Chain A
Amino acid sequence: DAGVTQSPTHLIKTRGQHVTLRCSPISGHKSVSWYQQVLGQGPQFIFQYYEKEERGRGNFPDRFSARQFPNYSSELNVNALLLGDSALYLCASSFVTSGEQYFGPGTRLTVT
């Protein structure tokens, strides 16, 4: 079975630009969550979606937005990029909103 996939793997953007990150969950999983991991720290929760509805939002500015599609894949959008947005962005999927999460390999975003 294919695991959680994320694209792109690496991305370099300039301050002020916009970025879209993509995630495909494990087949049958209806919940997708996004996390930001800054170097040397643990992941921080950004969004959780279940059945295409937002079920939770972390303490991130409105520049961050996300959505989930009918096939349960998801996009994370970040507008007006700042240097501090440089991080590894992780997507995780699960059958429901609770319990163990299956993580993708992440997208490493560098903002210059």
Chain B
Amino acid sequence: SQQGEEDPQALSIQEGENATMNCSYKTSINNLQWYRQNSGRGLVHLILIRSNEREKHSGRLRVTLDTSKKSSSLLITASRAADTASYFCATEPDTGRRALTFGSGTRLQVQP
């Protein structure tokens, strides 16, 4: 079953604009991660934010985490056509097995 739910399911923007994707989850977590997937191939790890962190930056990426609302957001600034992909959030639980639970993904289309 999918724990996380991304919002929106699909997003289309122009190059240079910012893209914001949201993720909600249900259980207590150790960390939350964002991945990118191009054309149904392997996933690429983008950023990991721990449960005791509220915000993290990596290049053009900014991730926030609100554990009280069980939600996270991924902001991609100054988007490029190469950012076109599906983006998934994945949660790692704070107890038991450390397997990731993925959301259903946001399909981002950046128009040149």
Contact = CB atoms under 8 A, between A and B. Distances in A.
Asked if A pairs with B, the answer is yes
Interface of A: 4, 33, 35, 37, 39, 41-45, 48, 55-56, 58-59, 88, 90, 92, 97-106, 108
In this complex, the member of B30, B41, B42 whose beta carbon has the largest number of chain A beta carbons within 10 angstroms is B42
Given A48-B98, A103-B43, A98 B30 contact: yes
Interface string B48-69: 1000000000000000000000
A101 B43 CA distance: 9
Interface string B74-100: 000000000000001010100011111
Given A33-B99, A42-B104, A43-B43, 13 more contacts: A42-B4, A43-B100, A43-B102, A44-B102, A59-B1, A90-B42, A90-B43, A98-B31, A98-B92, A100-B33, A100-B48, A106-B40, A108-B40
Contact of A45 (B33, B100, B105): B100
A59 B3 CA distance: 13
Contacts of B33: 100-101
Contacts of B48: 99-100
A92 B1 CA distance: 19
**Looking at A4, A42, A56, A97, which has the most chain B CB atoms within 10 Å of its CB?**
A42
Tier of interface size on chain B:
20 to 34
B45 A102 contact: yes
A35 B31 CA distance: 19
B42 A103 contact: yes
Contacts of B31: 98-99
Nearest to A88: B40
Nearest to B4: A42
Nearest to A59: B1
B97 A48 contact: yes
A98 B32 CA distance: 11
Which 6 A-B pairs give the minimum distances between C-beta atoms? A56-B97, A42-B102, A45-B99, A103-B42, A103-B43, A105-B42
